Amino acid sequence: MLLRIEAVAFFALLVLTLIRLPSAIREPSSRLTWVATITGLAAVFMVGVAVPLSIVDGWLGGTNVANLLQNILATAAFWFVMQAALTLDGSRFNRRSLLELPIMFLSFTIPFLLIADRGSTTDNFVKETADHFGLWAYASIYMGCVVVIMARMLRGIRGRKPRPYILIRVGAWAILCASLIEILYLTLRVAGLGRTRSVETVGNLFTIPFYGGVVLVCAGIITFAIARAGRRSMNAALGRLLTRANVGRGMLVTPIPDEDPIHETYRLAVRLTDIANSQELTKRERNLLRAATAMLDRQMRAPAIVRMSSTAGRVTAP
């Protein structure tokens, strides 16, 4: 089961990395997600899913440095996932916040380097050395960083309505709970309770929710990517309708660089609704406008001055 869930996470991250590559090249707003997925992919790679761990760790000296590198990459991946989730609504990424990452890295790298004897490469590095205080400090601080990141993400996306956020929320809660379980397990071990059956039962509760949560978060982001592609297609159709309808009205449609698809849909739908209020639209045009406004009602907070109604197809004042 351990290998299977990690392999699923690796495959999900690989698919997401490949899917998001074209949009990451084309749209700066998509690059956070792509950086998150490729660092997450590298982190799961360090577990030995694609290449045996003995070979991977051998490249780094054969003293379980692969475990440290995996955790550094995973922390970066979770942090970028958090930032990507927080900016899915069109918010801008604050580059200054990148300073948080080296602080997190150092917080658990220093305890790792202070572990006197890390032993030779092993798949169970944490469990085999969990009785030592240095290992407890290293692994617990790393898990604590993950807990903080997931908590910030959950707080940041609280109240957002689009359905893909459900997958992201469930995944984030699973990762957060798994991290707390791992901290509990490490604390039991360093307290001298040993590898008893009950203690190992607690430790075995970590893997499935942790990697399962990664899969769910990836699924949520993939769903957003598919929805975004659908909105782009809808916006292209709206743009063509407006090009025809704007003749002689002086309402030229000019694209805004790097505009979020939801806001682009809103802008186009408002203009088409204005035309609909003054002249008859075809059946296809009415259906397209209804679909656009229904999507906007579900996924975009209404501005303070106007609110779109998907039933009437009009822009009304509150």
Mean pLDDT of 228-247: 61
Sign, Cα dihedral of 192, 193, 195, 200: negative
Buried b (16+ CB within 10 A) or exposed e, 204-229: ebbbebbbbbbbbbbbbbbbbbebbe
Residue 57 to residues 14, 22, 123: CA-CA distances in angstroms? 21, 32, 10
Q: What is the pLDDT of residues 60-95, one digit of tens each?
A: 888 999 999 999 999 999 998 888 878 766 677 777
Helix, strand and coil content of the chain, in percent to the nearest 5, comes to: 70, 0, 25
Which residues fall within 8 angstroms of residue 179, CB to CB, at 6 or more apart? 143, 144, 146, 147, 150, 210
User: Can you give the pLDDT at residue 81?
Assistant: 85
- Is the pLDDT at 137 greater than 90? The verdict is yes
Element (DSSP H or E) covering residue 216: helix 207-245
* Percentage of the residues of the chain whose pLDDT score is greater than 90: 28
Q: What is the pLDDT of residues 283-317, one digit of tens each?
A: 766 776 676 666 656 555 444 333 444 343 444 43
